[in-house]
Amino acid sequence: MPGRTVLAALARRLRHEHRLFALAAVPLILAVAAIAGLVAHQSRALAEREIAALEARMIEAKKAELKNYLSIARMGFYDVYGPAPPDDAEAMLRVTQILSAMIYGQDGYFFVYDYDGNNLVSPRATRMIGRNWAGLADPEGTPVVDRLIEIARFGGGYHEYTWQKPSTGQPARMIAHVVGLQDWRWAIGTGIFIDDVIEGVAATRAATEARIRRTFLWIGAITLAALLLVFLTGLAINIRERRLADTKLKALTLRIFDTQEEERGRVARELHDGISQILVGVRYRLELAQRRAAAGAADAAAHVGAAAQGLNGAIQEVRRISRDLRPGVLDDLGLGPALQALTDEFQRRTGIETSFRTVVFSNRLDKEAKIALYRIAQEALTNVERHAGATRVSLEAFGHKRGATLRITDNGRGMAGNAGAGAGLGLRNMQERVDRLDGVLNIRSGPGGTVIEAVLPLTHMLPPERPEGGQERKMAAE
């Protein structure tokens, strides 16, 4: 059973430590996750803006290149087209020949459609020449020929669509620039494939995603390091706290043993110096009375009476010791009467002028608080008797909105003139009792005397009891 109890306590401690670690780690993880999400969102948004700007710049560069190509082509055939009438078939043939010869790069060429949709020039796709392509659309459904003719009718412009790439035979995105020869009702244009632009944008987007993934990895690594640091710090603090707790526990155990031995020694001295001597005197009185009675002396009865008085003194001494160990009046009547009896006994025994004052309030202190305040009063009066050299002592006990207060004041020489070890031990006892009840112990000392004030919190005040049977019960003053 002891082993099982220890294991259960250890398991509870580990669960508590896990909860503390989780309490510290969860907010950190949530904060890092929020930061990581925000960083990823902002990075993607910024990257998309940059990619869109890059794509726009590259497209504009392609458009400018197309415009230059078409300007060069117009310069090549303008001498033929300019002076020719609208129905000059020979001039039209010469222009188609000039444009058919104008090819550039692997995929660049010029095309010509009349406004009815008939292809007149297509040097890299000759199968299209002489056929009508009105209504032609790319694989995505984008109109091609009709849209090019429409743009040419209105003077010229750009059109983007998917077209077969001559060098690979595969469909690819293309931008075409077209202008109109209104006299001949022709749409003349050229196009450039932008698959390199698309590949560049895709590569940039992939690099951005890779950079975001690396950022996530760095954030994860930093988070893991932070969690490890939190764990190690908590472990170090826990080990340190355990060592301090073990040290305090050992010190407390020694204090308990010392207190027990001190109390045993005090009781032993009380028994030896008081009761033992009285009983020895009683025994001698009885022996003397026995001898005097055997001799027929008339004073034998007087010696018996003296022995009876000695026994009565022994009984009173036993009651005093019992009262010091645990006063019955404290349980029966409350703290106020117990302190009154304590101060009366102290004044009778020491001759020091002692006064006690209390504010009458309901007997509402719990058991631990009553015992603590009574023992603090005992310790304080013992220190006054042994070390203070005082001629006057006053005790005050009262309740207030913050709890309960016990104040002991003397006119002795103060702590500075008190070199006794017992005084330090007594003050430690007071402090420990107050700390155990979450109270406050205030000590003010000087050449004119010492004030000891113990304040216990409101949590040690019991709720007032309701009257029973219509009769209000009067509680003893604390």
DSSP state at residue 391? S
Tokens of 66: 């197309």
The residues near 175 (Cβ < 8 Å, ≥ 6 apart) are: 59, 62, 63, 66, 158, 159, 160, 191, 192, 194
Q: What CATH architecture is 330-460?
A: 2-Layer Sandwich (3.30)
In terms of Cα–Cα distance, which of 185, 190, 184, 189 is closest to 82? 184
Question: For residue 311, how many other CB atoms are within 10 A of its CB?
Answer: 15
Q: What is the pLDDT of residues 350-387, one digit of tens each?
A: 888 889 888 755 557 777 888 888 888 888 888 888 88
Per-residue model confidence as pLDDT tens digits over 206-251: 888 888 888 878 888 888 888 788 778 877 887 888 888 888 888 7
- Beta strand pairing status for 156-164 and 119-121? unpaired
Residue 12: pLDDT band (50, 70, 90) is low
287-315 confidence digits (pLDDT tens): 777 777 777 777 777 767 777 777 777 77
State residue 142's pLDDT score.
92
What pLDDT, in 10s, does the model give residues 50-105? 888 888 888 888 889 889 998 988 888 888 888 888 888 899 999 999 999 989 88
Give the whole-number percent of the chain exceeding pLDDT 90: 18
Question: What confidence tier does 131 reach under pLDDT thresholds 50, 70, 90?
Answer: very high
The pLDDT of residue 111 is: 94
Q: What is the mean pLDDT of the segment spanning 28-50?
A: 80
User: What is the secondary structure of 185-215 as a DSSP string?
Assistant: TEEEEEEEE-HHHHHHHHHHHHHHHHHHHHH
Q: Which amino acid is at 477?
A: A
* Domain range list for the chain: 330-460
The helix (H) or strand (E) run that includes residue 307 is: helix 300-325
| Sequence-ordered strand ranges (E) for 281-367 | 353-358
Q: Which whole number is the average pLDDT over 391-417?
A: 83
Which tops the pLDDT comparison, 393 or 426? 393
